[in-house]
Every structure is written in C-alpha cells, then in structure tokens.
Structure 1
Amino acid sequence: MIKSDLTKGEIGDFYWGYIDRIPPDAKLIETLEKNTEEFSEFLKSIPEDRWQYRYSPVKWSILEMVQHIIDTERIFQYRALCFARNEPNPLPGFDHDIYVLNSEAEKRKAADLIEEFKIVRRSCLFLFKSFSEKRLKLSGNMNDMNATPRALGFIMAGHALHHKDVISNKYL
C-alpha cells in the first residue's frame, strides 16, 4: 500500500498536513521503518543542553515534545487496532496539551525517551505488518471523524517529521 492510495475520506482535513509530508509513492511499512531510523538518529544528534530549552515560556521543551510523540503514537496505534478489528464504537479525542502537562517529561532522560520512541515504533511496525490490505482500509470513528488504519500509519510518520522540523527551526 502506497500513500497515493489514500483518499480524502480516510481521515479529516487537519491530518493531511502530516500525510502530505510523505512522498506519494511511499510504501507504508517502509516509510515507518525509515522514519523510525531517521527520527531516532536526529534525536541522538540534539545536544544535551537543548533538551530542556523552550523558545517561549509557554512552549514545550524537546523532552516534552518527544514524550508527546510517544503518547500520540500509542493512541494512534490503539485507534488503528480498533478500526482493523472493526470496532463499532466511536473513539474519543484527547487533549495533547493536558497529556504533556501531566507527562512529567522534564524528569526523563533524553536517551530513555529516544529508546522508548524506538520501542513504541517497533511495536507499531509489528502491528501494521499484521494487518491485511483489507484491514488497513477498514474505517472507524475517532474524535467525530472517520479514519482508517493506513491513514493513521502515514500520519504517525508525518507527525514525527513535523516535530523534527519544529525542533530544527525553533530549538537548535
């Protein structure tokens, strides 16, 4: 399954900002694998003294941002699993600001967050490799919008790219 197979009805408009960061001919599993490696290496290159930096008092630190990515990946994996298993009930949204506020990410070590990201993404890869093409196309409702597992997979990769750009442009 490649990104250009996705249709607009598979996810709400907001999420296309993440999906559009991925090339049209990108394959889902290969994209997630490459994205995991590249994002992990990028995180390793961040100087230790920058991980708690905030370019504004109300903005997240890099520690908090990476924790946010990990939390979001877990939630999106759960959503993908629900839809692939044909869950009939709508899934709620989540307030990422509340999650960050309560994450205690500032107490974490950068190396631990990088390792956790890799482990969570590895779990994601096993999950997505287990889905047939049919299961990847099933849709469910999350946060009052339709979504498919395959759209969620591309969103996760694009979400990491989005935050890589934010870190590169505002934190380093």
Structure 2
Amino acid sequence: MIKRPKMNEYHPYFERYIELVPDQGLLEILKKQQEATTNLLRGISKEQGEYRYKAEKWSLKEVLGHMADIERVLRYHILVIARGDVITFTPFDKDLYNTNADFSRLDLQDILLDFSIVRQCTSSLVSCLPDGGWVRTGTVLNHPITARALAYIIAGHELHHQAIIKERYLLK
C-alpha cells in the first residue's frame, strides 16, 4: 500500500489537495474517483457542458479537460521521478494549456472518455511501480517532491474539482 506522503515530501501549496484524500488504498481511490466523475458527468447536456458560473471562469468542459491535462503532466512527473531521473520540473501555465486545447470544440462526453483513459493510464502506472520508486525525489516549485506525493496530488486535485463541479456547475 502506498503510504500518505509526509509534509516534507511536497511544497505546502499541494497540502490543499493531499488533505482531501482519504486514508485508504490509493489505487482503489483512483479507480473509485474515475467511476464517480464518470457517473457525475454522464448524460450532461451540451448547454451544461458549456456553462460558466462566472463569465471569466472555465466552462464545465474546460474544467474536465483541465483535470485530464493536469493528471497527464503529474503522471509524467511520477514516472520520471520513480525511475530515478533527478530532475527539476518547471512550472506550467494551466490557463495556456486550456486555451490551446480549445475544449469548446469537443463534446463533453468525448472529454469525459479522454479523462477516463488518462485515469486508467495513471492507475496502471500506480499499480506497476516498485516500492522504492514511491520515495524517490524530484523538484517541483523549487521544493523536493516524491512520486507518492504526486500520486496523492492527482487524487486530491480530482476531489477538489469534483466539489467545484457539484457546487458551481450542476446546481444551477
């Protein structure tokens, strides 16, 4: 079982995500989250997919696309760190990613399918890493970070956005 990361294993910014993850098996959490997000957004209308709760905020489609993009990036970080490559990752611009993805041209169900595939790839990586890989360290935000902290950040990031989707996008 992948143990919860200690606070010295990640930048304090990420605590807001890690604290959301329950104390259970991480692989099981990732699989349950995929199912929960899929069930939450299955059957959403085109109008709901394009809804923005404020003009300057992302649409629901953009939020879901963002979730998949961030998970892709963090999963790559896990792979690199767990394989022993000593690297410092530069910050990336989530807004630039979202703008250039142009999620508005896609159907929400296609973005949801993409998100599910991304999560399946993450679950596969998590299930295949050797124990020693989880405690190897890289650098993110000029701070040491372990592969296991990144895995917990992925889970917490999804929980963070599930709550936002429920509170701000689906209760209109």
TM-score by length of 2: 0.93
What is the alpha-carbon distance in structure 2 between the residues aligned to residue 148 and residue 89 of structure 1?
12
Answer whether contact 2:2 2:148 (CA < 8 A) is retained. Answer: no
Judge conservation of contact 1:73–1:120 (CA < 8 Å) in 2: yes
Identity, % of aligned positions: 33
Which residue number in structure 1 is paired with residue 113 of structure 2? 115
Q: Which amino acid aligns with 1:18?
A: Y
Task: Tell whether 2:84 aligns with 1:86.
Answer: yes
The aligned counterpart of 1:62 is 60
* Cα contact 1:32–1:153 (8 A) shared by 2: no
* Worse overlay, 45-54 or 5-14: 45-54
- Give me the whole-angstrom Cα distance separating, in 2, the residues matched to 1:87 and 1:134: 13
| Aligned equivalents of 2:87, 2:112: Cα separation in 1 | 33
Whether 1:14 aligns to 2:13 is yes
The CA distance in 2 between the partners of 1:55 and 1:160, in whole Å, is 19
What CA distance in whole angstroms lies between the structure 2 residues aligned with 1:45 and 1:21? 27
Report the AA paired with residue 16 of structure 1: E
- Matched residue pairs, number? 170
User: Given that residues 11 and 140 in structure 2 are in contact (C-alpha distance below 8 angstroms), is that contact kept between their aligned partners in structure 1?
Assistant: no
Give, in angstroms, the shift of residue 2 of structure 1. Answer: 4.7
Query: Where in structure 1 do 4 or more consecutive aligned residues deviate above 6 Å?
Result: none
| Aligned residue in 2 for 1:32 | 30
Paired with 1:70 and 1:98, the residues of 2 have a C-alpha distance of 14
1:48 is displaced (CA, Å) by 3.5
CA displacement 1:82-122 (0-9 Å, x = unmatched): 10011122111111111111110000111111111111110
Residue identity in the other structure for 2:139 = N
Aligned to 2:126: 128
Q: Is the 8 A contact 2:91 2:141 kept in 1?
A: yes
The answer to which of 131-140 and 37-46 deviates more is 37-46
Aligned to 1:152: 150
- Quote how far apart the aligned CAs of 1:45 are: 5.1
Give the Cα separation in 1 of the matches to 2:24 and 2:15: 15
Normalising by the residue count of structure 1, what TM-score does the alignment of the two structures yield? 0.93
Contact 1:39 1:161 in 2 (8 A): no
User: 8 Å contact 2:52–2:169 — kept in the other structure?
Assistant: yes
> Which stretches in structure 1 are left out of the alignment for 5+ residues?
none
Alpha-carbon shift at residue 158 of structure 1 (Å): 1.2
Q: What amino acid maps onto 1:88 in structure 2?
A: V
Unpaired runs of 5+ in structure 2? none
State how far apart, in whole Å, the 2-side matches of 1:129 and 1:159 are.
19
SS at match of 1:51: helix
